[in-house]
A and B are shown apart, each in its own frame.
Chain A
Amino acid sequence: MSTLRYIADNWDTLGPEVRNQLVIVGICMGVSAAVGLALGVAAARSDRVAAVAIAITSTILTIPSFALFGLFTIWLGLGSAPVIAGLILYALLPIVRNTRTGIRAVRPAVIEAARGMGMSPLQVLLRVEIPLAVPVILAGLRQATVMVVAIATVGATVGADDLGRPILAAVGRSTGSYERLLSGVLPVAAIGILADLILAGAERALSRGRITTAAL
């Protein structure tokens, strides 16, 4: 209860931090979704591209977030920018992997029928392959979003004004740290859970007739 009171009392500073957190995650996921989808399509077409793309994006995930953000401060300075750049890279793997898996799971007969009726390769991709793979792609986006929401807090160490700040400020303090820590953690958890629910709902709503992760 005292945490909620703390959050209410400090909303002047917490509010903008929540907003920044959302902006960082939003921009990151927008860019990652576009890049990841394109890479995923390329990876679905070519095993070589897939091997390279998945090796690189997996390796990126092993870099500690503090180090990755720090690296980007060299070019982008302190603030939200290096955090967004780093998170974009983190988010790629699940999106690329799921896009490739979803597209690969489209039955060859469906593609052949589409080609045979005179759809161009681009029309087959946009009207058949991606729509069919949507639930699997959404599952990848969901994984990436939940991960990025949490990691974004580490961005406070390189000057991002997000929900990492109250957490960072609370760590190592002896007094009054409990409420302050939770005032950062609770909104982060809420954002993560909400994003998860929304995307899971979209995944379910679009699963009719399409390829689902459960079927893979």
Chain B
Amino acid sequence: MKALKKVIHNLDPKFEKGGKWEKMYPLYETLSTFLFTPKHVTKKGAHIRDGVDLKRTMFMVIIALVPCLLFGIYNTGHWHYELQSYLNPEQYAGYSDYLTGFGDKVVYGLIQVLPLVIVSYAAGLGAEFIFGFIRGHGLHEGFLVSGLLIPLTMPADVPLWMVAVATVFAVVIGKEVFGGTGMNILNVALTARAFLFFAYPTAMSGDKVWKSGTKEVMAENGGLMPDGSSGATALGDLATFVGDSPSVAGEALSASASNGALLDKFQAAYDPIHAFIGMIPGSVGETSTLAVLIGAGILLFTGVASWRIILSFFAGGFVFGLLMNGISANAYMDMPAFYHLIIGGFAFGAVFMATDPVTASQTQYGKLWYGFLGGGLAVLIRVLNPAYPEGVMLAILFMNVMAPLIDHYVVQANIKRRQKRFKTA
């Protein structure tokens, strides 16, 4: 270790101003600070510099994302073979069981998901390096996390070039335009997802993308889904409760069926325990609330994420879910409120997206408001707008924009309170 450190520090002068490889400084700085804490020392004022700098903070988030990634890989494989088992019942007998064919599912998942991760990192780091060279600084750390978040928020079947385009868009328009890491208004990973969602809706939503390989299976089956299978997510199914022709897991139900009967069918198809563990189709990393909570534990234990945001986000979703139960105009509104927290990307958004320290509220009270309103808005968008079955992405982006406003009012209220105290004293 010490020897390596010595080698690197001996290289220092060559990269500094006037050195031989001055132009390569951004590259060098990136790599050297990745291995060792930078040797910057505060020279003026009484500032304390923690050894845990941004790179190490970001690394904690990556570690916290690993459970989601691993589960996502397996889940992708599972739903692929589940669909295959409808088409070739003999060859894939029992594959609709969650744990049968473990090896096959892991291998397929890896083949589908790893390229997404690699492309996302390559495209994003490429864009960051270009801006780093132009502006003369090293690679900014923020993208280490965004690069892993982006593939986790996509359906596993999304074409790789779309991931690259969306990543470059998010890095350049979402971040570099505003001045780079720490200056962005919107969460970078969600910007990439929102871009794809609006630019290529057929690849990002509907009921043909959530199970990997749906297109191939349909092509083999004469353009139709195999009998008895469904490609929709739980949220996609729920959205039909608002429309005219409700269906659960591909099975059409009569529109006249009572709300209670619809919900019973739904709960049978998406058992809460399964939904909590994540055994439902969806974007790569979002399905498992369990894996997300393990990640949340790591983030909270290391003090990287704010418990205020996570807790209030869940609280907001639950309270607005109850509110919808109170209105209960259709089957969707009647759904038990806790379901909102375990299906779709709600938990993933609450733990990994809403807590982004750059785009969230900065004040303590502001964080509570920010999380609560974000969670509530996510449920509102889900329930009231069937065109957007998943509301978490839009809710968090909207709250990102509102965060400075929330902070402003919190700070003003604090000033007023203290002025009052000063007057009465």
**Are A and B bound to each other?**
no
Q: Which residues from chain A sit less than 8 Å from chain B, CB to CB?
A: none
Q: Which residues from chain B sit less than 8 Å from chain A, CB to CB?
A: none
